[in-house]
Amino acid sequence: MYIVTGATGHTGSQIVKKLITLVPASKVGVSVRDPQKARDLEAAGVRVRRGDFAEPDSLRHAFEGATQVLIVSTNGGDAEGQHRNAIEAARAAGAQRILYTSHMGVRATSPYLPMRFHAATEELLSGCGVRWISLRNGFYSESALFALGEALTTGVIELPADGKVNWTARADLAEANAIILADEQYPVGPTAPLTSPEVLDFSDIAKIASDLLGRPVTRSVPSDAELRTKMGARRIPDAYVDILFGMFEATRDGNFAAIDPTLTQLLGRPPTTMRSFLAQTLKG
């Protein structure tokens, strides 16, 4: 049985929707924190069980009968400990393969905190004794939108100095992740970076947004100190601000600038561009 975690989240739900077009729904199970939120999947014939990474006993039940487990990474709290519990539960359930949603920018020394969690989890996978695949997803285009905040309304993108990033639509990545999960012959280990064919910085995004909106959107790069003061005034928590600055430092180091054709090959079509992603978002 294929078990997918996080199936009530954005990526996990789209992975399962694609997966049940590739394998029978009766062979798919989801491990979710709140089964009530997965009623649509149950109606589609998917086995729904409660599983919380913070409660290993719940995972024993949720992963029962697993041959393949796809772990959707978490962000908050003790992400590394949660991933360790999920890997151990998959191994104990007898899974023959464990897949994990990692990131193209994974690095143990990255200034961007989530990349260090991913690196620690890849390390756990490499020692777990089960075949594993780390799905090195591109940077979600949705994260660029999140970083933009109110900028499309105000017309000024005010963010730290940045480098080029390969922004990749979450829906495309979920589709590709499901294709890899369904393919039991897919090469083990880290995948190539699953990316689009273009890299952009926020000046490029400002130009695209100006075109789409028909009014100027400009890029402003205040000093880090000035930005920190402004964010503090908006009561943005320091921990979040530190993570954001770490992300921009990693972009300047080129950690998210790889371009690779694997995603295009898996999808059998060009991935969604940032222009078309923004156009769809603006249409609402």
Give me the least distance between CB of 270 and ligand NAP, in Å please: 19
Residue bearing tokens 């929707």? 17
How far apart are the C-alpha atoms of 137 and 165, rounded to whole Å?
Answer: 13
Q: Is 158 in the site for ligand NAP (CB under 6 A)?
A: no
Q: How far is the CB of 207 from ligand NAP (least distance, A)?
A: 22
Q: How far is the CB of 79 from ligand NAP (least distance, A)?
A: 7
- How far apart CA 182 and CA 186 sit, in angstroms, is 9
Nearest residue relative to ligand NAP (C-beta): 9
One residue of 36, 75, 126, 153 binding ligand NAP per CB under 6 A? 75
- Which residue's CB is nearer to ligand NAP, number 34 or number 211? 34
Taking CB under 6 A as the criterion, which residues in 137-156 touch ligand NAP?
Answer: 137, 139-140, 143
Pick between residue 43 and residue 210 the one whose CB is nearest to ligand NAP: 43
**Closer residue to ligand NAP in complex, CB, 216/237:** 237
Beta strands, E only, 19-96: 28-32, 47-50, 68-71
Task: CB nearer to ligand NAP: give 53 or 132.
Answer: 53
Q: b/e map of 232-270 (b: 16 or more CB within 10 Å)?
A: eeeeeeeeebeebbbbbbbbeeebbbbebeebbebbeee
- Applying CB under 6 A, the span of 66-74, 224-232, 242-250, 259-267 interacting with ligand NAP comes to 66-74
Q: How far is CA 283 from CA 180, 213, 217, in A?
A: 31, 10, 17
Return the DSSP state at 1.
Answer: -
Q: Half-sphere exposure (CA, 13 Å, Cβ side) for 180?
A: 32
By beta-carbon proximity to ligand NAP, the closer residue of 218 and 252 is 252
Choose which of 74, 121, 166, 177 interacts with ligand NAP (CB under 6 A). Answer: 74
Q: Which amino acid is at 12?
A: G
Site for ligand NAP in 94-113 (CB under 6 A): 101, 103
Q: How many CB atoms lie within 10 A of CB 113?
A: 16
Site string for ligand NAP, 172-201 (x = CB under 6 A): ------------------------------
Pairing of strands 97-103, 131-137: parallel
Residues in the chain: 284
Residue with Cβ nearer ligand NAP (165 or 182): 165
Q: Per DSSP, which regions of 10-80 are E strands?
A: 28-32, 47-50, 68-71
- Angstrom distance (rounded) from CA 15 to CA 181: 9
In the complex, least distance from residue 233 CB atom to ligand NAP, rounded to whole angstroms? 26
- 9 binds ligand NAP per the rule CB under 6 A: yes
Binding of ligand NAP by 40 (CB under 6 A)? no
Contacts to ligand NAP by CB under 6 A: 5-6, 8-12, 33-34, 52-54, 72-75, 82, 101, 103, 137, 139-140, 143, 170
